[in-house]
Chains A and B, each alone.
Chain A
């Protein structure tokens, strides 16, 4: 039955503005993808990632500067607590306790400290079975190899996190200006560290983002990455406070 010109107009007209804004005009499958394809990260790190989480299939590089390992563990933390399996290849120092502070579950965390000269075959095998794979390449990475592993990551729906430089990473992060708080000239102990994290990348991540956070914040789990307090007061140590009985306990 013919609905007349008026009806046809509303039926074929432009999509209402509020639907476009909410992203509501998508296929049902795409909506489901959006939920499933994003792995969570701790609150303070969301602003660094264009989608507010780690997109499955993405490659993220973290520069090997001070704070890099902590940032990698912090990126794994929320997803690992949520049940994802994580693996780490090429990192001989076993920082599992440190990782556990950020919420990484040791039971679901596999380590290949020495993947050998053909480390990429090991990383490729890990991408088949693990949701998040941390890799530290042994030496510079050619763009061809990087593309091949990125394709593997995309196809498997995993997230490849690289400690070091990675040509063509979807998101590239770098930590700078670390300032430790809590100790001074023999007193106190390391408590927390203020750190600036910058992120750039390709596509949606091209706009540089930056945030200054406490990493580690001295707490564990979701609170391990905390916002900087407004005034950022230095932790003052009372005069004559014994160093030894402060930390040992």
Chain B
């Protein structure tokens, strides 16, 4: 699938702009301003940058570089709240606006370009509209795919259709925004996106993992959708009703976290991840507020929680706050992709080990074929073979039959190891002391105590101790599927301990106690 022609609106140094706009004229724009998060510079204004203030600098260093620096604390909610009118302004020109993060939003380029007359005209119209309704400076970029469009917006260029890979090729790998991967690539001597994109995709996945494969696609100007987008399974929307309605910001924050975890669990169960999230809130007066957030990569539970919290706080504290509290909150995951790569939880990150294991299994699947690598799911059943269901690695882990049913006739602990399902059955000859073949009567009684057991083609071995028989009758109501067998445990003189089954007059080794 070709990447969608995307138009991105970028407001430079948004945290600073938001702080200035929020201060209502008390913070003159021409001063050097820095927004600080946890003691380091999160964003700074152009005059501050000219004085040598940089992102990530400590407060003291920043103030040493620029003594007259005005310092403002970082506030993610302020960023969202001030950005909301900007998104509305863009929505006046184009439909289906998605927020990437405060300060950046995107839309499909085709719509506005069509009715305004060209992408350049559409870009101009959007910049004008933002300037007149919010008095905010914005830049617009157009390219094929979201990743290219964001970089085009930062450069303020319209990349012609089909020229996106060439536009990206010259850029530094650092724009990928994955510090660990970028460090690795730079040490390997790969400094531009073009050089990274030239690597074979299979090798990138095998060597660097799922996230790097995603980055590799982005670098090549391809769409971020690594795997085929899944058709929407039944309904993955999570929603919550609030009585009394949520009006306070701290309640909203708490709500956001539980709902995010719920959504994450639901997506995990369907083995999907979402790349977009639509948040809908309905107030007590039936006002409906909706905003779509987009993320490059799969949204984890913490990312979902943050976005819901910001959005709710933005709505509840914004200039156009609803007239009543929020009664219903709905999270709709969109842009679903099937993935098993990094599944993180909000509490306790077990993702790295899982990612490593997954990568190594992918490699073994590459060596042997996908069906050669299994995990096993405990399943319901009576025989040892039924009680475990091998599932190819990466498939859904669903038991064939419920495990927690009683299953009368199954063996208690210790459980033996069943013979391999794929191997031919190992026949056994069970004889009594007088040499007669041992059988089991219709009343589940053994005809004679077993004295020797010969398995396969081996010589008979003396039975030291034995127990049984235990009958298993399954599906006697169905002619084709009915099964009737009797099982005994034998300890042999050569220390082997076996579970033998008699079915249709023949003994075979069903499992071994090793």
A interface with B by C-beta (< 8 Å) = 65-70, 83-85, 87, 92-98, 100-101, 106-116, 121-122, 125-126, 128-131, 178, 180, 182-193, 216, 218-220, 243-244, 247-249
Contacts and interface: CB of A to CB of B under 8 A. Distances in A.
A125 B378 contact: no
Q: Is the interface of B mostly helix, strand, loop or mixed?
A: mixed
10 contacts: A66-B495, A93-B512, A94-B390, A108-B357, A109-B376, A110-B373, A129-B363, A186-B468, A190-B497, A244-B468
Contacts of A116: 367-368
Contact of A249 (B412, B420, B422): B412
Give the size category of B's interface with A: 35 or more
Q: Which 4 A-B pairs have the closest CB atoms?
A: A129-B360, A95-B417, A92-B420, A183-B467
B423 interface: yes
Given A122-B368, A178-B495, A185-B466, A96 B449 contact: no
Contacts, number: 181
Nearest to A84: B353
B408 interface: yes
A180 B357 contact: no
Contacts of A67: 514
B449 A186 contact: yes
Nearest to A180: B491
Nearest to B409: A248
Interface string B405-416: 000110111111
Q: Is the interface of A mostly helix, strand, loop or mixed?
A: mixed
Contact of B357 (A130, A184, A220): A130
Given A121-B367, A185-B449, A218 B413 contact: yes
B377 A106 contact: yes
Contacts of A218: 413-414
Interface in B115-170: none
Contacts of B465: 180, 183-185
Contacts of A100: 378
B186 interface: no
B374 A111 contact: yes
Contacts of B354: 85
Contacts of A180: 465, 491, 497, 513
Contact of A93 (B397, B420, B466): B420
Contacts of B467: 182-184, 186-190, 243, 247
B411 A98 contact: no
Contacts of B237: none
A193 B378 CA distance: 24
B374 A110 contact: yes
